[in-house]
């Protein structure tokens, strides 16, 4: 009985020593893997290391590894940088690098902007666009081919010759249309926007510029009947007043002459006496 108790005592003692040694070994391994681990880190880190930077991030921040030469440093950011996309996990929010031909992406298999030399189509970056599409060097995307569109023809213009509409029998007339949609690089080109054709009209004389101008001026000066009647009456009254004034002036001039002649007839002259 005593022997059995002594054996149990030694077994228990050995078990306690083994557990203690395993715990010490684990602590030493953690110290070698993460030297100088700190809980009071800056820049959004939950835990960090002087050598490796952030080891874990605060809630809602993304963990990303930045390469500095041959060394990688952990950084915690509010959003992933260009060329990475973010994924949230229960234990960590992580930034993952996009594909080599993708500049920005939503997921690993869905690109939103391609690098130079590639064109975006349905979330993928392609060197050549599929059939029926053409590369747009401005947006760097594969876009639909656009063909030219023109409006309907306008009515034919009046028949003219050398800019005139008279003095000829055969001339030309024109019609035009507008471009509604210009084509893309691979689209169908635009048609002609104007057409000319010969035309025949009845010859009519052209009015001379001077004669037409003179007749227009005379027509503009021609008074109506009421104005001419009033004008004649005014002229007649003016002429009558002028004649009356001249008669009075002549009469006034003749009166002094008549008095002198009467006085001369009444005067007998000097009387002669005989000696």
For residues 247 and 73, the model is more confident at 73
Q: How confident is residue 257, by pLDDT bands cut at 50, 70 and 90?
A: low
Q: How confident is residue 4, by pLDDT bands cut at 50, 70 and 90?
A: low
- pLDDT above 60: residue 36: no
Query: pTM for the full model?
Result: 0.46
What Cα–Cα distance (Å) separates residue 216 from each residue in 29, 84, 210, 228? 116, 84, 10, 19
Q: Which pLDDT tens digit goes with each residue over 109-148?
A: 999 999 999 999 999 999 999 998 999 999 999 999 999 9
- Under 8 Å between Cβ of 158 and 123: no
In three-state secondary structure terms, 105 is strand
For residue 158, the model assigns a pLDDT of: 92
For residue 128, the model assigns a pLDDT of: 93
Q: Which pLDDT tens digit goes with each residue over 74-102?
A: 999 999 988 899 999 888 899 999 999 99
């Amino acid at each position: 009985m005593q022997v059995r108790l002594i054996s149990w005592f030694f077994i228990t003692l050995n078990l306690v020593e083994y557990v203690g040694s395993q715990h010490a070994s684990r602590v030493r391994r953690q110290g070698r893997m993460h030297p100088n681990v700190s809980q009071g880190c800056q820049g959004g880190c939950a835990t960090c290391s002087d050598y490796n930077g952030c080891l874990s991030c605060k809630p809602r921040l993304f963990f990303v590894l930045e390469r500095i030469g041959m060394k990688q440093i952990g950084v915690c950011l509010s959003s992933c940088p260009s060329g990475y996309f973010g994924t949230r996990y229960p234990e960590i929010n992580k930034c993952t690098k996009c594909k080599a031909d993708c500049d920005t992406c939503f997921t690993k298999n869905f690109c939103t902007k391609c690098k130079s030399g590639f064109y975006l189509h349905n979330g993928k970056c392609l060197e050549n666009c599929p059939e029926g599409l053409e590369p747009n060097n401005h947006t760097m995307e594969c876009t639909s081919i656009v063909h030219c569109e023109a409006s309907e023809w306008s009515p034919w213009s009046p028949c003219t010759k050398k800019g005139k509409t008279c003095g000829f029998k055969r001339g030309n007339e024109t019609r035009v249309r507008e471009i509604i949609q210009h084509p893309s690089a691979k689209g169908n080109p635009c048609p002609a926007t104007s057409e000319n054709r010969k035309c025949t009209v009845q010859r009519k004389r052209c009015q001379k510029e001077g004669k037409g101008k003179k007749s227009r001026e005379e027509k503009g000066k021609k008074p109506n009947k009421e104005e001419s009647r009033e004008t004649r009456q005014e002229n007649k009254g003016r002429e009558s007043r002028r004649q009356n004034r001249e008669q009075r002036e002549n009469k006034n001039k003749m009166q002094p002459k008549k008095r002198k002649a009467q006085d001369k007839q009444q005067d007998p002259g000097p009387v002669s006496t005989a000696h």
